[in-house]
């Protein structure tokens, strides 16, 4: 056997090795140069899992913690350098004809004078790891891209390709996309912030709103439904250019306080400033605190059809888990009670009973978003005039925002939301672009997969 090098003080002995002849170790080391450790790793894993009978008796319970071949090569290059003065491995002629294929994955029986086959050295159970070549990658990317484009059409046909009535700046625009095949969603929306408070600029409109001392301005808008709307018809309000996803805004809340837990004043200041206490008084804690609650939307709507009031049911518009677990049954305290400091609406009664507030507290991911106001459990015939009386209180003029009221039916994928279709389209387009790029690379610079002549040790011959 090879002689182990002398150990320095405190140095641990190297791991034990199988009882293989020295010339076999030399040949294995010569076949695995340092720059080819990707190939050596497979041999190392095999040697680390040798059965106990192939290990030294004193170390049968010791886990081999380092790569045997790497240690062997390092030893031959340093401690045993006197055996190889030229710095290269001198391999006996009797084993120079052996290749890696003679060691792995064939049996080591002839080499170790045992009966262990390579299956004992590998990880069990056996597994298959697919190795995609260039053509395989092109086919997979093409398949993914094609499927994404197929899926892109599904949400678009179901939700985005709908008959929609948009009234903005008094201009009526009826959109009927030609691709629409499922016309089960009908949507009507109207902007009202500029109608309720006419003005040349947002600053002028804001000044008019502030002069109402929180009561707001009343206005009425009328929407003519272009097609029959089948119950239930959902009523939403929509805010544009309102960044409810801003990091400081989203974090300005205390979920522990909302659950009804006892929270210290210091913790509230950390979570909810600048809306933690009323007028900076430590004794006047605001509940619920934070900017999200403070900016609670407070416009109100009354809907009527041909002069008859329509009942808008606002029960069960919030998530049941939010009502049961995330909001307390206690009333609000010091919450938007001072008109001059008010950021939005107030809460009357227990907090968890105000589902509009619970819906508002579930912040939106984008700057333009809708929040559900209620449900109308009645069909609305085509051509009907929907009259909406609005009390315009919420100040979007300060940041140039827009407010709309939306009536919409729903499909099995929900209301009109093109995001899912756009996501499918984007992933599909990226996949097809990568497939085309790989195809061009394969054509310009072809390479045969599994060509052994390209291996480094074969190139060096």
Chain segment 62-90, per-residue pLDDT in tens: 233 334 444 444 444 444 434 333 334 45
Closest CA to 33 of 117, 89, 79: 89
Residues 199, 328: contact at Cβ < 8 Å?
Answer: no
Q: What is the bridge-based pairing of β-strands 402-408 and 233-240?
A: antiparallel
pLDDT at 78: 40
Residues 13, 66: contact at Cβ < 8 Å?
Answer: no
Q: Residue 439 and residue 432: Cα distance in Å, rounded?
A: 10
The residues, any chain, with a CB within 8 Å of residue 447's CB and separated by 6 or more, are 134, 454
pLDDT at 387: 94
Chain segment 204-243, per-residue pLDDT in tens: 888 888 888 888 899 999 988 888 998 899 999 999 999 9
Give backbone dihedrals phi and psi of 27, rounded to 5 degrees, phi first.
-65, -40
User: Residue 54 half-sphere exposure, CB side, CA atoms within 13 Å?
Assistant: 23
pLDDT at 66: 37
In the sheet that 300-305 helps form, which strands lie side by side, from edge to edge? 217-224, 385-392, 300-305, 308-309
Q: Is the peptide bond before 264 cis (omega within 30 degrees of 0)?
A: no
pLDDT at 449: 65
Residues 109, 121: contact at Cβ < 8 Å?
Answer: no
User: Residue 163 half-sphere exposure, CB side, CA atoms within 13 Å?
Assistant: 12
Q: Residue 113 and residue 99: Cα distance in Å, rounded?
A: 19
Q: Residue 417 and residue 444: Cα distance in Å, rounded?
A: 42
- Give the mean pLDDT per block of 10 residues along the chain (461 residues): 43 44 60 45 47 36 37 44 41 62 46 38 54 79 83 51 38 33 72 87 87 87 88 94 93 91 86 84 85 94 91 93 90 83 86 94 92 93 91 92 92 70 84 90 77 71 61
Residues 16, 59: contact at Cβ < 8 Å?
Answer: yes
Ordered DSSP codes for 49-65:
T--GGGS-GGGTTS---
> Which three-class secondary structure state does DSSP give residue 265?
helix
Question: What's the chain's Rg over C-alpha atoms?
Answer: 37
Token pair recorded at residue 112: 């170790």
Closest CA to 70 of 43, 108, 101: 43
Residues 111, 24: contact at Cβ < 8 Å?
Answer: yes
**Positive/negative CA dihedral, 291, 293, 299, 305:** positive
The residues, any chain, with a CB within 8 Å of residue 219's CB and separated by 6 or more, are 192, 195, 196, 389, 390, 392
Token pair recorded at residue 50: 């040798």
Q: What is the bridge-based pairing of β-strands 217-224 and 186-191?
A: unpaired
Q: How many helices (H) and strands (E) does the chain have?
A: 16, 10
**Positive/negative CA dihedral, 205, 211, 213, 219:** negative
CA distances from 450 to 130, 134, 222, 455, 457 (A): 14, 12, 71, 9, 15
């Amino acid at each position: 056997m090879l002689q182990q090098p002398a150990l320095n003080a405190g140095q641990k002995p190297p791991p034990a090795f199988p009882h293989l002849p020295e010339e076999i170790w030399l040949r294995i080391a010569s076949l695995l140069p340092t720059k080819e450790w990707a190939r050596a790793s497979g041999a190392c894993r095999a040697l680390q899992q040798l059965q106990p009978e192939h290990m030294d008796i004193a170390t049968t319970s010791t886990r081999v913690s380092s790569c045997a071949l790497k240690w062997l090569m390092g030893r031959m290059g340093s401690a045993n350098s006197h055996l190889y003065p030229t710095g290269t491995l001198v391999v006996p002629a009797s084993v120079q004809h052996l290749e890696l294929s003679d060691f792995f994955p064939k049996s080591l029986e002839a080499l170790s004078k045992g009966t262990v086959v390579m299956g004992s050295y590998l990880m069990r159970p056996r597994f298959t790891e697919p190795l995609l070549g260039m053509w395989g990658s092109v086919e997979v990317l093409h398949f993914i891209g094609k499927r994404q484009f197929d899926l892109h059409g599904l949400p678009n046909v179901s939700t985005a390709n709908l008959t929609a009535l948009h009234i903005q700046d008094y201009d009526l625009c009826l959109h009927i996309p030609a691709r629409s095949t499922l016309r089960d969603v009908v949507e009507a929306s109207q902007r009202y912030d500029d109608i309720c408070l006419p003005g040349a600029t947002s600053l002028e409109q804001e000044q008019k709103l502030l002069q109402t001392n929180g009561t707001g301005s009343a206005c009425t808008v009328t929407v003519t439904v272009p097609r029959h709307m089948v119950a239930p018809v959902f009523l939403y309000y929509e805010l544009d250019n309102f960044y409810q996803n801003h990091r400081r805004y989203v974090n300005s809340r205390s979920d522990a306080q909302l659950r009804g837990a006892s929270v210290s004043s210091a913790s509230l200041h950390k979570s909810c400033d600048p809306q933690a206490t009323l007028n900076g008084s430590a004794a006047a804690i605001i509940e619920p605190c934070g900017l999200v609650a403070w900016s609670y939307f407070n416009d109100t709507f009354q809907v009527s059809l041909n002069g008859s009031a329509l009942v808008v049911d606002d029960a069960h518009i919030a998530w049941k888990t939010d009502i049961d677990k995330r909001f307390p049954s206690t009333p609000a305290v010091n919450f938007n009670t001072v008109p001059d400091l008010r950021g939005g609406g107030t809460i009357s009664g227990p907090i968890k009973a105000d589902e509009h507030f619970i819906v508002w507290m579930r912040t939106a991911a984008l700057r333009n978003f809708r929040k559900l106001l209620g449900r109308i459990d009645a069909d609305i015939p085509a051509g009907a005039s929907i009259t909406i009386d609005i009390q315009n209180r919420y100040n979007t003029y300060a940041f140039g925002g827009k407010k709309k009221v939306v009536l919409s039916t729903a499909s099995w994928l929900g209301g009109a939301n093109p995001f899912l279709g756009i996501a499918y389209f984007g992933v599909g387009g990226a996949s097809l672009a990568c497939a085309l790029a790989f195809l061009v690379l394969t054509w310009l610079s072809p390479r045969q997969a599994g060509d052994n002549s390209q291996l480094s040790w074969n190139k060096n011959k």
